[in-house]
Chains A and B, each alone.
Chain A
Amino acid sequence: MFRFLLRRLAVLIPTFIGVSIIAFSFIRLLPGDPVALLSGERVMSPERHAQIMHDLGMDRPIVIQYLDYLWGVMTGDFGRSVVTKEPVLRQFLDLFPATLELSVCAIIFAIVLGIPAGIFAAVKRGSYVDQTLMGTALVGYSMPIFWWGLLLIILFSGMLQWTPVSGRISLMYFFPSVTGFMLIDSLISGQEGAFKSAISHLILPTIVLGTIPLAVIARQTRSAMLEVLGEDYVRTARAKGLSTFRVVGIHALRNAMIPVITTIGLQVGVMLAGAILTETIFSWPGIGKWMVDSVSRRDYPVIQGGLLLIAAIIMVVNLVVDLLYGLINPRIRH
């Protein structure tokens, strides 16, 4: 297992270095003067320009600049936003819990509905139930989620007035952020109705962000189940006279879950990409909206730092999924 970890890391580290080179060089590839882009100052005298260039260390050789950047990244220095002048890392850490909370809810939503749907479709293969479920899954898989979000807003916020349109909690509640997770913070605050308000704000974004993972998980569960249900040991279990519930729920499901777990792990990247759209639609103050806002404000240090941080998160999660997978399925390790 340790060697497996080392092998994985051996691939991961060069990839991370490559990602950091991309993040480092993208500012220098932009049309325009990187000094002006990084400092956010448009008009400046030649003296001021030289001063900033020196302050940013941009008068040194490019390799030294890169190593300096890499060292900064390792020590948690991702530069400062040119708009708010705040450190990029602090902004990221402030906003990340919102995205994490939304993503966790969305993935739970996707798993809780997707796995049973997939199992059911596999057991009833070829029936109308199967066709309906898989047809729905394909629609979900093909869904432009930014439009799906707008539709849900029209229906539930506009016509039915059940849910709020945007934000994480109603403005009438105010309490200190302890964990950064609105559901937990609102519970701790003890204010009446705060928790309910947090949930009602979370419902639509969760559905929107969870739709594509839900469809993918349902399809994957069905095909994994079908494969397993054809195996000899399932036939043996049936022949022993075990109930369908035991055969499907215990014998088949455990083995069918292995590819499904990988699929769930792969959804992390999908979620972070989906968060860009979902958070924009619902004005959800997370890192997806932060990135979109930074791109439209041309806040390049933020784009640079955010790009690297998001890629790093995805790489770490993929590593964890790989390790878990190796743990469940020893064949992979070799």
Chain B
Amino acid sequence: MTHLSAEPITPLKGVSRKEQLSEFWYYFSENRGAVMGFWVFLLLVVIALLAPVIAPHQPNEQFRDAVLVPPFWAEGGRLSFLLGTDQLGRDMLSRLIYGARYSLFIGLVVTTVALVGGIVIGLIAGYFRGWVDTVIMRVMDIILAFPSLLLALVLVAVLGPGLMNAMIAIALVLQPHFVRLTRGAVMAEKSRDYVVAAKVAGAGHFRLMFRTILPNCTAPLIVQATLSFSNAILDAAALGFLGMGAQPPTPEWGTMLAEAREFILRAWWVVTFPGLAILITVLAINLVGDGLRDALDPKLKRS
């Protein structure tokens, strides 16, 4: 991957926020994949928000006369169940639509928790240095020594299976990346003239950390946040698949896959669609992430 550089993105005098945004969009939109990913992601958000309106059935409603009905285009399919039904006669499409809510919610909450926690800890480590920094970074090294999914799995074993605990575990595992990034950026920025100037002008620690330094470290953090968003969705689905995440009958995509596993050779649709939904979501977010990296990375910017 390209190295994220921490050049300050100090706005020039007279450049309004709107102009900045349009400049960003100019670079971002050069990447067609990124724009496509962005629209797909937006569509998913709309689907998630409007789930009760657009879903043809309730996600947990069981149709006893329609167990394992194939999608409408296949033989034996019915138009009332566009993507077929699962082993309990629940409408696949409705469950997938409701599943989008879970995945996006998981991504949003986990990323926010990891991002906020990581920024605060990273700022403290990079700003104060000394033993505080050493202790914090050693702890982060320890967390990073475990494969993320394994650590999340064990944490869930401690906390007990469930969506909430899975989210806590994943946030904890993703958070050291933000700590490292923030700390590195803070250390690079700290000795710059504008920070010294603010310090001389009498700014306190808190102001220096959050108002002066932090805004100039945002570019790599935004890119990492996008990556975390897709990782969180993947890991939560993996935990759900292993039976350690959201519990049935929650229409979470990974949990749906776990429930459908034994039917894979009889009913391909119960396995294919939830996974496809995960793939499309994660792919869209990663496309946006690639585009953001190119647009925000000043090294690659053609002036």
CA distance A116 to B147 in the complex (A): 28
Tell which of A44-52, A84-92, A268-276 binds the partner: A268-276
Q: Which of chain B's residues 125-163 have a Cβ closer than 8 Å to chain A? A: 138-139, 141-142, 145-151, 153-154, 156-158, 160
B231 to chain A, nearest CB (A): 10
Closest to B151 in A: A307
Do A295 and B2 touch (CB < 8 A)? no
Do B279 and A273 touch (CB < 8 A)? no
User: Does A104 touch B at the CB level, under 8 Å?
Assistant: no
User: Does B43 touch A at the CB level, under 8 Å?
Assistant: no
Tell which of A12-20, A64-72, A178-186, A250-258 binds the partner: A12-20
Do A150 and B257 touch (CB < 8 A)? yes
CA distance A223 to B293 in the complex (A): 13
User: Does A151 touch B at the CB level, under 8 Å?
Assistant: yes
Q: Known A138-B283, A138-B286, A146-B238; judge A151-B154 contact (CB<8 A).
A: no
User: Does B244 touch A at the CB level, under 8 Å?
Assistant: yes
A23 to chain B, nearest CB (A): 9
B-facing mask of A275-295, CB < 8 A → 1, else 0? Answer: 011001000000000011001
Do B275 and A220 touch (CB < 8 A)? no
CA distance A157 to B150 in the complex (A): 28
Partner of A269, one of B141, B147, B238: B147
B8 to chain A, nearest CB (A): 24
A114 to chain B, nearest CB (A): 14
B-facing mask of A134-146, CB < 8 A → 1, else 0? Answer: 0100110111101
Do A273 and B149 touch (CB < 8 A)? yes
Task: Give chain A residues whose Cβ lies under 8 Å from the Cβ of B276.
Answer: 147
Task: Give chain A residues whose Cβ lies under 8 Å from the Cβ of B238.
Answer: 144, 146, 277
Closest to A223 in B: B2
Do A147 and B149 touch (CB < 8 A)? no
Task: Give chain B residues whose Cβ lies under 8 Å from the Cβ of A174.
Answer: none
Interfacial residues, chain A to chain B (CB-CB below 8 A): 11, 14-15, 18-19, 22, 26, 29-31, 135, 138-139, 141-144, 146-148, 150-151, 153-154, 157-158, 219-220, 223, 269-270, 272-273, 276-277, 280, 291-292, 295-296, 298, 303, 307, 310-311, 314-315
CA distance A121 to B153 in the complex (A): 37
Do B148 and A151 touch (CB < 8 A)? no
Task: Give chain A residues whose Cβ lies under 8 Å from the Cβ of B1.
Answer: 219-220, 223
Looking at B149, B265, B268, B286, the one whose CB has the most chain A CB atoms below 10 A away is B149
Task: Give chain A residues whose Cβ lies under 8 Å from the Cβ of B272.
Answer: 151, 154
Q: Which of chain B's residues 258-278 have a Cβ closer than 8 Å to chain A? A: 261, 264-265, 268, 271-272, 274-276, 278
User: Does B242 touch A at the CB level, under 8 Å?
Assistant: yes
Closest to A296 in B: B243
Task: Give chain B residues whose Cβ lies under 8 Å from the Cβ of A150.
Answer: 257, 261, 264, 271, 275
Do A146 and B153 touch (CB < 8 A)? no
Do B244 and A135 touch (CB < 8 A)? no
Which secondary structure dominates where chain A touches chain B?
A: helix
Task: Give chain A residues whose Cβ lies under 8 Å from the Cβ of B274.
Answer: 147
Do A295 and B157 touch (CB < 8 A)? yes
Closest to B275 in A: A147
CA distance A26 to B287 in the complex (A): 38
Do B282 and A144 touch (CB < 8 A)? yes
Task: Give chain B residues whose Cβ lies under 8 Å from the Cβ of A143.
Answer: 279
User: Does B85 touch A at the CB level, under 8 Å?
Assistant: no
CA distance A292 to B150 in the complex (A): 9
Task: Give chain B residues whose Cβ lies under 8 Å from the Cβ of A151.
Answer: 271-272, 275
Beyond contacts A144-B279, A158-B268, A303-B157: 17 other A-B pairs, Cβ-Cβ < 8 A, are A15-B141, A15-B145, A142-B230, A142-B283, A142-B286, A144-B238, A144-B275, A147-B257, A150-B257, A150-B271, A151-B272, A273-B148, A276-B242, A277-B241, A280-B242, A295-B156, A311-B145
User: Does B189 touch A at the CB level, under 8 Å?
Assistant: no
Partner of B154, one of A26, A31, A270, A315: A26
Q: Which 7 A-B pairs have the closest CB atoms?
A: A147-B275, A273-B147, A18-B142, A273-B149, A142-B282, A142-B283, A295-B157
Q: Known A151-B272, A154-B264, A154-B268; judge A291-B153 contact (CB<8 A).
A: yes
B270 to chain A, nearest CB (A): 10
Task: Give chain A residues whose Cβ lies under 8 Å from the Cβ of B142.
Answer: 15, 18-19, 22
Q: Known A142-B279, A146-B257, A220-B1; judge A303-B287 contact (CB<8 A).
A: no
Partner of A138, one of B151, B265, B290: B290
- Total contacting residues, chain B, CB less than 8 A: 46
CA distance A298 to B244 in the complex (A): 12
Task: Give chain B residues whose Cβ lies under 8 Å from the Cβ of A22.
Answer: 142
Do B283 and A139 touch (CB < 8 A)? yes
User: Does B33 touch A at the CB level, under 8 Å?
Assistant: yes
Task: Give chain B residues whose Cβ lies under 8 Å from the Cβ of A135.
Answer: 33
Closest to A147 in B: B275
18 contacts between A and B (CB under 8 A): A15-B138, A26-B158, A29-B158, A138-B290, A139-B283, A144-B275, A144-B279, A153-B264, A158-B265, A158-B268, A276-B149, A291-B153, A295-B157, A303-B154, A307-B146, A307-B150, A307-B151, A310-B150
CA distance A157 to B265 in the complex (A): 9
CA distance A150 to B241 in the complex (A): 12
Closest to B37 in A: A138
Task: Give chain B residues whose Cβ lies under 8 Å from the Cβ of A14.
Answer: 138
Q: Known A147-B278, A158-B265; judge A307-B154 contact (CB<8 A).
A: yes
Do A291 and B150 touch (CB < 8 A)? yes
Task: Give chain B residues whose Cβ lies under 8 Å from the Cβ of A157.
Answer: 265
Task: Give chain A residues whose Cβ lies under 8 Å from the Cβ of B257.
Answer: 146-147, 150
